[in-house]
């Protein structure tokens, strides 16, 4: 059976060249980077080379990169690390309503510790409302954390504007750039970013490696205590093979960025058009402009989410219901709620995320198979039945792209 993998926001296939670069560090170069004999030095040098590659991807100095195990750890280190190091200055933190759970649950944990959190709303395309951000800033605000781009609906925030607003008040700015780094150009200097999260597993690198950029002069408290690794900011034996792979993935991302962008955006638009044309009552969530080239998110009316994924999976098509961390809980995602998508429509939401390995054949296969699956599920839907007999529907919210398919 044909296999079409379209869940690249949660994990990508490793690039063959990345794997090749890693293998020696799993086999012969197994020395601990902290050891002084030459085998240890080989590992140490490999880590520093990788550090330079990650730094180059976002245009920072190599000593501003701290290696971690994953994006969630980087977000925790950035937010908790900064909050605890700077609590004397103030205890107010601002985040957006559509952050990844590793940001939302981190600030929730800080709330229990006496920090105060403000959640900035977004408009119905997922863009942070700048005026609300300006209003939210207070004397005791120490940190603002707003994602670079959204995993679920693909919205690329106006980071330069957001950063300018934050920097005018001399507040530190962190951005979770996990789904943006390596996909679109990022320059922390130009954009005035103080801390940034980037992960290996979604840019064709291995799982188990990620990084946090911390601008020189920004102080954070380590969240793992122990040895001197990572400039005393993160103790523990370094995951050398994964870090080496991460570095190689960054080098490849820099080299292929333009090509991959053009490739995926073409596939993305083909998929959006194909589904709109062949399925009634579907609504694109998120923006058409300033959208990740890899992201497609549709609400499918009169369809319940979980059955959709099982039937697609039976056809070899792998997609997601938005947040990779919320798949088990079948309520409408916090992102779609923030975009004001109607609950009745939002439950049938599906996210396809593309990679450089996807082909036009993949997309055409989905366009061919998906409409029949939707039709089959609608035949079982009492809501659809009601709509067909009465013409009445549960009203969709303003967050959905409701302007086509009114036949």
- The confidence band for 397, taking pLDDT boundaries of 50, 70 and 90, is very low
Dihedral over Cα of 295, 296, 298, 303: its sign: negative
In this prediction, residues 164-192 reach a mean pLDDT of: 98
- The confidence band for 381, taking pLDDT boundaries of 50, 70 and 90, is confident
Could you please state the CATH topology (level 3) that the domain comprising 16-253 is classified under. 3.40.640
Query: Which CATH number is 4-9+257-390 given?
Result: 3.90.1150.10
- The confidence band for 394, taking pLDDT boundaries of 50, 70 and 90, is low
Output the pLDDT for position 395. Answer: 55
Q: Whole-angstrom Cα distance, residue 167 to residue 172?
A: 7
Domain boundaries along the sequence of the chain: 4-9+257-390, 16-253
- Burial string for 235-270 (b: 16+ CB within 10 Å, else e) reads eeebbbbbbbbbbbbbbbbeeeeeebbebbeebbeb
End-to-end CA distance of the chain: 35
Domains 4-9+257-390 and 16-253 share a fold: no
Beta-carbon contacts of 167 under 8 Å, excluding residues fewer than 6 positions away, are 173, 192
What is the per-residue pLDDT across 248-293, written as a single tens digit (0 to 9) for each? 999 999 999 999 999 999 999 999 999 999 999 999 999 999 999 9
The CA-based dihedral angle spanning residues 177, 182, 185, 190, taken in that order and rounded to the nearest 10 degrees? 50
Count of C-beta atoms within a 10 Å radius of residue 33:
19
In this prediction, residues 121-128 reach a mean pLDDT of: 97
What is the per-residue pLDDT across 339-378, written as a single tens digit (0 to 9) for each? 998 877 878 899 999 999 999 999 999 999 999 999 999 9
The set of catalytic residues is: 325
């Amino acid at each position: 059976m044909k296999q079409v993998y379209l869940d690249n926001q949660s994990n990508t296939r490793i690039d063959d060249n990345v794997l090749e670069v890693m293998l020696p560090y799993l086999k012969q170069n197994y020395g601990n980077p902290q050891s002084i004999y030459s085998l240890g030095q080989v590992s140490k040098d490999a880590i520093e080379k990788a550090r330079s590659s990650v730094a180059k991807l976002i245009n920072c100095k190599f000593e501003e990169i701290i290696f971690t195990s994953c994006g969630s750890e980087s977000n925790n280190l950035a937010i908790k690390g900064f909050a605890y190091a700077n609590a004397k200055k103030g205890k107010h933190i601002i985040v957006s309503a559509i952050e990844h759970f590793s940001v939302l649950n981190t600030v929730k944990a800080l709330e229990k510790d006496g920090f105060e959190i403000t959640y900035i709303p977004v408009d119905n395309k997922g863009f942070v409302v700048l005026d609300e951000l300006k209003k939210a800033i207070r004397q005791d605000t120490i940190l603002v954390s707003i994602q670079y781009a959204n995993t679920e609906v693909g919205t690329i925030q106006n980071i330069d504007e957001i950063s300018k607003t934050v920097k005018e008040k001399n507040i530190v700015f962190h951005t979770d750039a996990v789904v943006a780094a390596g996909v679109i150009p990022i320059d922390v200097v130009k954009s005035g970013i103080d801390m940034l999260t980037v992960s290996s597993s979604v840019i064709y690198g291995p799982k188990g490696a990620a990084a946090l950029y911390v601008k020189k002069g920004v102080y954070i408290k380590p969240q793992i205590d122990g040895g001197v690794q990572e400039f005393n900011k993160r103790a523990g034996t370094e995951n050398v093979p994964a870090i080496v792979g991460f570095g190689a993935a960054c080098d490849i991302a820099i080299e292929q960025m333009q090509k991959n962008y053009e490739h995926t955006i073409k596939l993305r638009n083909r998929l959006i058009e194909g589904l709109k044309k062949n399925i009634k009552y579907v609504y694109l969530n998120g923006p058409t402009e300033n959208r990740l080239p890899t992201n497609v998110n549709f609400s499918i009316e009169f369809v319940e989410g979980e059955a959709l994924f099982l039937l697609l999976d039976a056809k070899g098509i792998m997609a997601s219901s938005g947040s990779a961390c919320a798949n088990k809980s079948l309520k409408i995602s916090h992102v779609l709620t923030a975009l004001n998508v109607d609950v009745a429509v939002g439950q049938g939401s599906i996210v396809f995320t593309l990679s450089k390995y996807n082909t036009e054949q993949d997309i055409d296969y989905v366009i061919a198979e998906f409409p029949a699956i939707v039709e089959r599920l609608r035949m079982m839907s009492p809501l659809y039945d009601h709509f067909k007999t009465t013409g009445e529907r549960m009203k969709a919210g303003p967050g959905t792209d409701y302007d086509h398919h009114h036949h």
